[in-house]
Chain A
Amino acid sequence: MMPSKGTEPGPMKHLSDQELMRIVQGGDYAPASEIYDRYSGRIYNFAFRFLKNAEAAEDATQEVFVKMLKYANQFHGDAKLSTWLFSITANWCRDYLRKADNKAKETEEVLISLPAPSELAPDRTLERRENEQLVQKALQALTPEQREAILLSRYQGLSYAEIAQIAGCSEGAVKTRVFRAMETLKKTLAGFGGRDGVGRVAPLEAGERGVI
């Protein structure tokens, strides 16, 4: 399937998700790039935090958007595109974890990139890495269902109704998962010292972002 000559990428930015998907459903893949730009960051971050594996997160991101094109006709305009994409992503991640070969890799930490020396002072870099690992480890201590719920709620801002749709359960079940997740996170982070453990973690400075 190729992009139609009449559909230019520029004006795509002004189209809604539903309008873009209608074009895709008509057999024209020209909006693929625009849809990817809108959602790939959220999909990648969710998969990375869920699986704690950068390589798998890349595979997940690519395959989610390939599936979006392949199964475009299964998308109905009554749901948000983000909800549908997160459903595909969550399914991919659950399948990944189900495979025995991948379970052992959940806790592996691969140092993907290092900041340039001038970007951040070495002690601050180490502190940031330590804090990030602290939170990531706490997330890994959750069950996959709880982790999915808290990642979608806390980091992706999805409503409980949307999470229920993605997880294939009731809203009540999502509330329970989030509650249990928060209880566990509170206890896990409390194990690291300070006031309830979490007091020693330095707050983020405004505008500080980046991969370490």
Chain B
Amino acid sequence: MAECSALREKLPLLLTESLDAAQRELTHQHIENCVECSDEWNAYRETWRVMDELPELEVPARVKARFLEAAGLSGAAGSQPADNVVPFHRRPSFKWIAQAAAVAVLVGGGFFAGNRTAPRIQPSGVFVNSIQDRGSSPIQPLSIAETRVVDANTISPVIEGRPNISNVTFTDADAADNRIGLSFDITSRWTVNGNPKDKSMVRLLSYMLENESAISPRSTTLDMVRQAYSNPANADPEIVSALAKVLRNDEHEGVRLRAVDTLTHLPPSGSTSPTRDALIDALKSDPNPAVRIKAVEALAIIARSGTLDAEAVDTLRQKASQNDENLYVRMKAAEALKNIKP
């Protein structure tokens, strides 16, 4: 019936209490006298009620701390990172006044030349002084609006200072050609294309994992690392070390979870690798139970390859019997132990 059809379009409005009094009354009268529309109305109401199943999420305290720090009000809220995670000292983000004043310093061979206002962390222990173009032609000064596309093997893997890299995106146009692309804003838009084994690519990725202040780009970088370095041909110990540092130091549990996941996807490198050490550390001391569960699962995968050593097995045993440990972690540890061959 045309009347029913017109009325049914009003049912969501009735739910959201957006009908005026007269329309509301007419709609209710029709519902009471029409079985089909009454069923439809009940289905809408039930759907509406089921939507209550979404719990209200609490905002993690670190978000306020980060916001107040960015606003220059960091003394106003005392939010400390989780006890067992020693956070990276990243460049502060959203210092818009300072950023607006920044100028391109890409002159005479210096690729990155950031300021040194924040304490410098050396992500891989082998950071050197600057990334330089090794091409034969001299590098010209760049304007802020300029966009550059370069090959990773034409630049030196040396990053100077702590440049603020933002707006990171990745490309992998052809999965078969073993080449990836990495685009980012610094003082201009740069795209570095190359082989995952190029040291410039490895160090740019490591740098982003440790220095990007926003969370989602770090997470995106981890996805890219997993995609590019799960191929055994691209195995690189610096990437493994960078991931191990993320697992120990990143203050965001979602990023640490993704780091475990990424480490699990990399080619196995033996029981004494940084991977195994970082996983044991995470299982022993990560404050988040989901990360500890992921660590157990990752250690179980290593165990299946027959390279898990006594310390790892002891840690699993300890966790399985630790009374004050989260029940799910204990269960996972016990399950992992069952599957380890003596």
Contacts and interface: CB of A to CB of B under 8 A. Distances in A.
Interface of A: 1-3, 9, 29-30, 32-33, 36, 40-41, 44-45, 48-49, 53-56, 58-59, 61-63, 65-66, 69-70, 96, 99-102, 104-105, 110-114, 116-117, 122, 128, 131-132, 134-136, 153-155, 159-160, 175, 178-179, 181-182, 185-186, 189-190, 195-196, 198-199, 201, 203-204, 209-212
Nearest to B94: A66
B53 A201 contact: yes
B290 A112 contact: yes
Interface string B31-58: 0000000000001101111111111111
Given A36-B67, A99-B169, A210-B55, A111 B257 contact: yes
Nearest to A51: B216
Nearest to B43: A196
Nearest to B221: A101
29 contacts: A2-B73, A32-B68, A44-B63, A45-B57, A48-B57, A55-B215, A55-B252, A58-B252, A61-B59, A62-B70, A65-B71, A66-B67, A101-B169, A112-B290, A114-B293, A134-B50, A134-B53, A153-B16, A154-B48, A155-B54, A160-B18, A175-B12, A182-B11, A185-B51, A196-B43, A198-B43, A198-B47, A210-B55, A211-B58
A55 B63 contact: no
Contacts of A66: 67, 70-71, 94
Contact of B223 (A45, A105, A114, A212): A105
Contact of A29 (B51, B72, B96): B72
Main secondary structure on B side of the interface with A: helix
Contacts of B94: 62-63, 66
Contacts of A131: 50, 53
A205 B49 CA distance: 13
B253 A65 contact: no
Nearest to B15: A182
A61 B96 CA distance: 17
A201 B77 CA distance: 40
B256 to A, nearest CB: 11
A101 B172 CA distance: 11
B335 to A, nearest CB: 15
Contacts of B288: 112-113
